[in-house]
Structure 1
Amino acid sequence: MAANPGHVRPHRPVTETDAPEAGTQVAGEQGLDARLVVERGAFRLDMTLTAAPGDVVALLGPNGAGKTTALRALAGLVPLTEGRLRLDGACLERTPPESRPVGVVFQDYLLFPHLSALDNIAFGPRCQGAGKAEARAQAATWLDRMGLAEHAGTKPRRLSGGQAQRVALARALATRPRLLLLDEPLAALDARTRMEVRAQLRRHLAEFEAVAVLVTHDPLDAMVLADRLVVVEHGRVVQEGSPSDIARRPRTDYIARLVGLNLYQGQAEGHTVRLGSGPSITTSQELSGPAFVAFPPSAVTLFRDRPAGVSARNLWRCEVTGLEPHGDQLRADLIGELPLAADLTTVAAAELDLQPGASVWATVKATQTHAYPA
């Protein structure tokens, strides 16, 4: 259900006529305004990305969607095939990476192993022309802000994962970037540390006055840290909006799985959405035309025998194909009249004697579905 790619034009590298001189200022513009077109072999990234100062934007998508390519293009590590890249009105298409007002926090942090935490952070200001004493004073201030003042002389190998992440963030912020790029910044942390550092990172991003772009596979990281989500599939933006809007109205199977919803697309007429695969779903919303229907796995109730007194609406015969832990419950994957996922307690699963191959009846109340235009 990804967006249509449309007509594809022949591509060429950015030329002198495509963009103004590197660093040219365009009056009255603030924040990020980019159209990133990158061709690498058979893969083509073509996405527009805009953000105002203070915005935190999360790029989400499956492996190979183009998220990291987009981040590297913003950093100048991958050249644009065509498009534009403007930051606070300055055109950066041909500006080398080291000259861009961009800070990067890599997934593995890439701290200099031979430098202390203090000197890792001081490295950026030194590259910008600050004297050694001044750069170290700035670095000390950042270490204090990160709660790491006592680790000023510590080498990276002696830092915990959470401490290394904060040093990497401080190193990026010490250059006062106008664009902060974070590539899976919490991926290397264990679950307990991740929760603590996520909260700290949220605080630091809330204080950041420029644009921040975050790449992550974790929907919780995106929902907690970002003001806006941009979902990328096959090199294209398929949906963008606030975390609550994305979670409530997913438009692709990938997004639905990400936010934990069953999602279907069909033709609505009144309170009924007829799916292309045959069955229909009764909803509480009244619509006409192409529509999506979504509901959480927790809204599904399972029975081994057809339940007495339940109407035929939103009642489907299914077969269990798998069971796996999901938080403090079990998630059952079902195929049949309507493929879906259902959450239930371990006690309920035992009482129903659920196992792969078991035949069940699944039902969902119309009030627990959510229908919206496709």
Structure 2
Amino acid sequence: MMDELLAGAARGATRAGSVAPGEPLAPLAVALGDPAGIGPEVTAKAWAMRHAHGLSPFLAIGDRRALEAVWPGPVIGIGHPREAPAVFDQGLPLLQVDDPGPVVPGEPSLAGARCALDSVELAVGLARAGTVAGVVTAPVAKSQLYAIGFRHPGQTEFIAERCGVAATNVAMMMVGPDLRTVPVTIHVPLAEVPGLLSTDLIAARARTAARGLARDFGIARPRLAIAGLNPHAGEGGAMGGEEEAVIAPAIALLREEGLDVSGPFAADSLFHAAARSRYDAAICMYHDQALIPLKTLHFDEGVNMTLGLPILRTAPDHGTAFDLAGRNLASPRAMIAAIRLAGACARARLASAS
């Protein structure tokens, strides 16, 4: 079944992200992630709380046993995503991928990693074909993926490649109720950040963020605040020269292009309430600069959204939490937020196409 669905998705891939005027919104696809992690549990809990949070219809892609091992609720097997809306109120719709073997919560396996990768690949293929309105990815274990030959830094880069988009042309945006942040550099050692920053890279991330805010959030003229790299944004060169040599030229270039960009700002004063009211997203120079404020403000509701793709992709901002799997302790709030955001952005795209 998976091969047939992928073949159909490949034939329809030119429809990526498009919806004909008057066409109903397709369901979202939730790739369950590692079967031994908390992805199946939080997805099932999100379905159980669908009405309370106004969630759009969605289907799960993964293994039935991963759900049944952690949740006693109804699961309805489907053969195609179009079947999901009709059965959504009766049970969690599931597209089964290849059999991963026995599933034990909290005990990852190589077979489980293959199942997780197949689930993501199928979800992306369906989104590219327009068969689903967007993709929500539950967490995977990178160490397990690397053991089966996975060569990407994470799911974001893998999805970008499957969509035919260079990794430099996508951006990771962290989204919370009161804050959006975009890291310019992501999963790299802090010591390497200054050497990796460039005017072109900062400008590329900012452009991608601006386009995403306009397309998916309906912000016609997004306001972007650019953080400095060094303490006090370099203090005029006394605490580092990257602000003057690299970041300020990027800001000037973006302004010449007509974008509403300000900075560079000292990061320690960029995230309090009054500062947040002055921008729609903060462009940060490295991973922790972007994620610490987001997780401080919205630890249980943070969403990782990939901008610059031809499809919608969100993910809850947490890991596999193998230590919690199977204990009914995992909070579904981030998964609910990821599904809700994907649905809202899908409806925004549908409205703009009508």
TM (norm. structure 2) is: 0.28
**Greater Rg, structure 1 or structure 2?**
1
Structure (1 or 2) with the greater strand fraction: 1
TM (norm. structure 1) is: 0.27
Structure (1 or 2) with the greater helix fraction: 2
Bigger relative contact order, structure 1 or 2 (CA pairs below 8 A, ≥6 apart): 2
